[in-house]
Amino acid sequence: MSALLTLSGVHTHIGRYHILQGVDLDAPEGKTTMLLGRNGAGKTTTLRTIMGLWRASAGTVTFAGQALAPLATPAIARAGISYVPETMAVFSDLTVRENFILAARDGPLDDARLQWIFGFFPALKKFWLSRAGSLSGGQKQMLSIARAIVEPRRLLLIDEPTKGLAPAIVGGLIECLREIKRAGVAILLVEQNFRVAQEIGDEVRVMDNGRIVHEGPMAALAADGALQNRLLGLSLDAHQ
């Protein structure tokens, strides 16, 4: 499978801090690639650099053959990338419906697409006219992801979607992400929960100190406790 997204030697500075120190990463078309690593490894910075929210000071970011580095964030989004930040960033003063309307930048909301989304997240249908700020944390996360898929996109960047969510909600979220992948969308997903990563990841990239230190199939990492321990400071057994 060819790489949809490729980062080569990407460096990012935030103020005087040198966060990404030569990231080489690829995300294959139509697959879910997990981006793992300890806190502070540079995972969120990687996603934000891809979106152009922080500018790369060196290196190249290529999406579907197009160089992203010269583009501003709106142009990167319009190239076909959706971003779900760790903070969810729903517009709390707007209703669920209005959040959807803004996300559907190419035209009116599509009924079939809405039904598809409501299939995963029935709560959003229920609270359609409620202020997003009045939703629970899990519902906000659902809205944040739904907003990213309200129109077809080629790549989703998702930052820690299960953080702070109840296990029952996490299960639904995993199923949703699988369905999105089945629809042919590539996903680059930052996740701290290794069990979740194991369930939905096809590929894995592990970061440490602003670099990719491991890449390969998720199944191989899941099967190798020693490697998990070395890369992430955990083993699946310990995590269970």
Q: Which residues bind other proteins (CB under 8 A)?
A: 51, 53, 72-74, 77-78, 83, 85, 89, 91-94, 96-98, 101-103, 105, 108-111, 114-115, 125-131, 133-134, 147
Locate 80 and state its tokens: 């076909």
Which helix (H) or strand (E) is 105 found in, with range?
A: none
**What's the min distance (Å) between Cβ of 153 and other proteins?**
10
Residue 83 or 120: the one with the smaller Cβ distance to other proteins is: 83
Least distance (Å) from other proteins to the CB of residue 147?
8
In what order do the strands lie in the sheet containing 3-14?
A: 17-28, 3-14, 56-63, 66-67
- At 125, the amino acid letter reads K
Q: How far is the CB of 139 from other proteins (least distance, A)?
A: 11
Could you tell me the smallest distance in angstroms from the CB atom of residue 236 to other proteins? 33
**Residue type at position 9:** G
Q: Which is nearer to other proteins, 77 or 236 (CB)?
A: 77
By CB atoms closer than 10 A (0-12, 13-18, 19+), residue 115 is exposed
SS3 16: coil
Q: Which is nearer to other proteins, 69 or 236 (CB)?
A: 69
Place of tokens 């229920």: 126
CB nearer to other proteins: pick between 38 and 154:
154
